[in-house]
């Protein structure tokens, strides 16, 4: 089965949407600025005094490690048919409570992903089964925090693969922020009814029937602040047609770069960097990784990977507290 194979020529040219108006809405309240000490070598980013970030554990995917790290299993003359290695990787989202409007980064899988009537094609269910019930899906995780979908101002979608954008339809009053090339690429697969990729046709069909507030980020648009202490990062083509990330400034520790599948794991990050097994644009992915490294070093930020089991295990989950 072809898991993901893209052709840039398929993407129809999209009209860029000016999202400046999105970011110029009047703030709910003015956060108090806290002075930060100057640094000669590291750029200082200031967080809002009221910013709180919650790590949402949305279950796991079980898959062959070769998807995460290319050539993890290699046949040789002595071992012509080496066994594959199945691993469980975390699925996550990040909720940022903020006086200027709450921000959600990614939405995980749809609760009805699996089964005979599931949204995901049977082949996708078999290759990437979800480990975890509906109690660990995004709607339940937000409910446990006492937050409803209508209380989220911005939903930033790193990309539109099924384990990152499955719950888009719940956020009908939010600004759904997505890269324009990603939006175009996903709907190309919808139009052709292509079920061989992580863009789920049933999800896309559902979105097309709803009055959702899409905000498409143009290919050449610069990074910009969403709310104080939270910057939208325009990574562009790489793992998928168009990737977005977040730079989150914290008061109690180093800031964080939420990079999603622009870097799956610490093995991909390196050194030495190891290529991912699934990707749309290998050169774009390499450029993005170099940019992430420069941002991390230049701002003294930590990189939180998209699917690193060891790192995610060590993070403080929403049920245990938050990051400020």
Domain ranges of the chain: 42-71+83-228+309-314
Residue tagged 């049933």 (tokens): 202
Residue 314: exposed, middle, or buried by beta-carbon count in 10 A (0-12, 13-18, 19+)? exposed
Averaged pLDDT of the chain? 89
Largest interatomic CA distance in the chain: 66
Helix (H) or strand (E) holding 269: helix 266-269
Query: Would you say 288 and 244 are in contact if contact means Cβ atoms under 8 Å apart?
Result: no
Over residues 71-99, mean pLDDT: 96
Sole residue written with tokens 């384990």:
163
Q: Does 2 score more than 90 pLDDT?
A: no
Q: Residues 307, 311, 317, 321: what is their CA dihedral angle, to the nearest 10 degrees? A: -140
Please report how the helices 180-191 and 201-208 are oriented relative to each other, as an axis angle in degrees rounded to 10: 110
pLDDT, tens only, 103-117: 999 999 999 999 999
Query: For residues 56 and 318, is the Cβ–Cβ distance under 8 A?
Result: yes
Q: Are 130 and 60 in contact (CB under 8 A)?
A: yes
Closest residue by Cα to residue 105 from 10, 181, 16, 178? 178
Q: Which pTM value belongs to this model?
A: 0.85
Least confident of 10-19, 141-150, 253-262, 273-282: 10-19
Quote the CA–CA distance of 127 and 61 in Å, as a whole number: 9
Residue 39 has pLDDT above 60, yes or no: no
Lowest-pLDDT range, 20-34, 85-99, 166-180, 238-252? 20-34
Q: What pLDDT score was predicted for residue 49?
A: 77
DSSP-derived pairing of the beta strands 52-64 and 130-131: antiparallel
Strand order in the sheet with 302-305: 224-227, 230-236, 243-248, 256-260, 302-305
Cα–Cα distance list, 182 to 35, 96, 219 (Å): 38, 23, 10
Q: How far apart are CA 116 and CA 125, in angstroms?
A: 10
Residue 30 has pLDDT above 70, yes or no: no
Q: What is the CATH number of domain 42-71+83-228+309-314?
A: 3.60.15.10
- The two tokens of residue 181 are 């090339």
Residue ranges of E strands in 188-301: 213-217, 224-227, 230-236, 243-248, 256-260
From the list 151, 147, 141, the residue with the least C-alpha distance to 173 is 151
For residue 75, list its beta bridge partners: none
Collect all residues with Cβ–Cβ distance below 8 Å to 195 and sequence separation of at least 6: 121, 123, 124, 201
Q: What is the pLDDT of residues 137-191, one digit of tens each?
A: 999 999 999 999 999 999 999 999 999 999 999 999 999 999 999 999 999 999 9
Q: Which residue, 49, 173, 47, 59, is CA-closest to 107? A: 59
Taking the CB of residue 253, how many other CB atoms lie within 10 A of it? 9
Question: Is 321 exposed, middle or buried (CB count within 10 Å of its CB: 0-12, 13-18, 19+)?
Answer: exposed
Pull the structure tokens for residue 107.
């939405």
| Residue-level pLDDT at 12 | 40
Compute the distance between CA of residue 266 and CA of residue 16 in angstroms, rounded to an integer: 34
pLDDT at 320 over 70: yes
Q: How far apart are CA 106 and CA 109, in angstroms?
A: 10
CA 288 vs CA 25, 84, 181, 202, 257: distances in Å = 30, 29, 16, 30, 13
Report the pLDDT averaged over residues 77-83.
94
CA angle, corner 217, sides to 261 and 225, nearest 5?
85
């Amino acid at each position: 089965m072809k898991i993901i194979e893209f052709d840039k020529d398929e993407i129809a040219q999209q009209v860029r949407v000016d999202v400046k108006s999105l970011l110029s809405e009047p703030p709910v309240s003015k956060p108090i600025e806290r002075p930060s000490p100057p640094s000669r070598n590291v750029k200082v980013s200031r967080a809002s005094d009221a910013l709180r970030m919650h790590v949402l554990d949305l279950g796991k995917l079980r898959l062959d490690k070769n998807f995460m790290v290319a050539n993890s299993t290699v046949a040789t003359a002595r071992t012509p048919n080496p066994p594959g290695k199945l691993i469980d990787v975390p699925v996550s989202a990040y909720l940022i409570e903020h006086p200027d409007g709450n921000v959600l980064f990614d939405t995980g899988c749809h609760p009805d992903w699996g089964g005979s009537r599931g949204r995901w094609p049977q082949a996708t269910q078999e290759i990437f089964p979800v480990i975890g019930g509906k109690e660990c899906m995004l709607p339940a995780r937000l409910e446990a925090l006492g937050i409803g979908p209508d209380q989220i101002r911005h939903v930033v979608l790193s990309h539109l693969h099924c384990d990152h954008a499955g719950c888009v339809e719940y956020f009908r009053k939010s600004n759904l922020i997505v890269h324009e090339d990603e939006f175009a690429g996903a709907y190309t697969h919808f139009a052709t009814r292509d079920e061989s990729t992580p863009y789920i046709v049933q999800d896309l069909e559902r979105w097309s029937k709803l009055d959702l507030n899409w905000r498409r980020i143009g290919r050449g648009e610069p990074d910009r602040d969403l709310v104080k202490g939270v910057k939208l990062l325009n990574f562009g083509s790489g793992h998928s047609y168009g990737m977005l990330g977040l730079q989150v400034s914290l008061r109690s520790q180093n800031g964080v770069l939420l990079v999603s599948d622009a870097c799956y794991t610490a093995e991909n990050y390196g050194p030495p960097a190891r290529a991912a097994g699934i990707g749309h644009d290998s050169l774009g992915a390499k450029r993005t990784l170099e940019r992430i490294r420069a941002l991390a070093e230049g701002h003294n930020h930590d990189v939180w990977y998209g699917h690193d089991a060891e790192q995610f295990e060590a993070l403080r989950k929403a049920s245990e507290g938050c990051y400020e």
